[in-house]
Homo-oligomer: A and B are copies of this chain.
């Protein structure tokens, strides 16, 4: 289990989950992270409503497997949270709140190669197509998050595998694509955006 920085989290974050699609079936509310939904009496999560705050959902318990950013709104089916079709994740097994920065204060750096080497670029805005702003290839070797939380995506337009990057985790340092997430298989990253509270 990863370290949870939940100090000051309670009272703001709220998510309602159901064990069936369409916001139906057995229902439960959470105001903090859930390491394993099964232990909370739900076999798996198949739909949800984020009431407040930003969350990240995981394919497996213990905050493992594919990651899915969850912002305020309704997620009636798995295709609402997943942009990855090659590898389906129809149910979530764990989820936790994310600490964001003020939208204008989010900042991160991307590097061409692992261990913060090669060409670099500072980001403080959303980039649906990294190559449009002059990034020369379809890969990012390593990243440092100075402020806030970000989502990186495999494909342009916020599609494909998602990697949630936070300044509160890994001390904001992601030195190799294997640190992007337990599901990362390549360093392909073609769009990046800030997480909105």
Contact = CB atoms under 8 A, between A and B. Distances in A.
A22 interface: no
A17 to B, nearest CB: 15
Nearest to A126: B126
A147 interface: no
Interface of A: 50, 69-75, 77-86, 126-132, 138, 151, 154-160, 190-191, 193, 195-197
Contact of A73 (B70, B84, B86, B190): B190
Copies of this chain per assembly: 2
Contacts of A191: 71, 73
B75 A155 contact: yes
Contact of A129 (B71, B78, B82, B151): B71
A129 B82 CA distance: 15
A69 B131 CA distance: 15
A157 B158 contact: yes
A-B CB proximity, top 9 nearest: A71-B129, A73-B156, A79-B85, A80-B155, A72-B132, A158-B158, A72-B129, A72-B131, A73-B190
Contacts of A72: 129, 131-132, 156
A191 B157 CA distance: 13
A43 B151 CA distance: 36
A86 B79 contact: yes
Given A79-B85, A128-B196, A129-B196, A157 B69 contact: yes
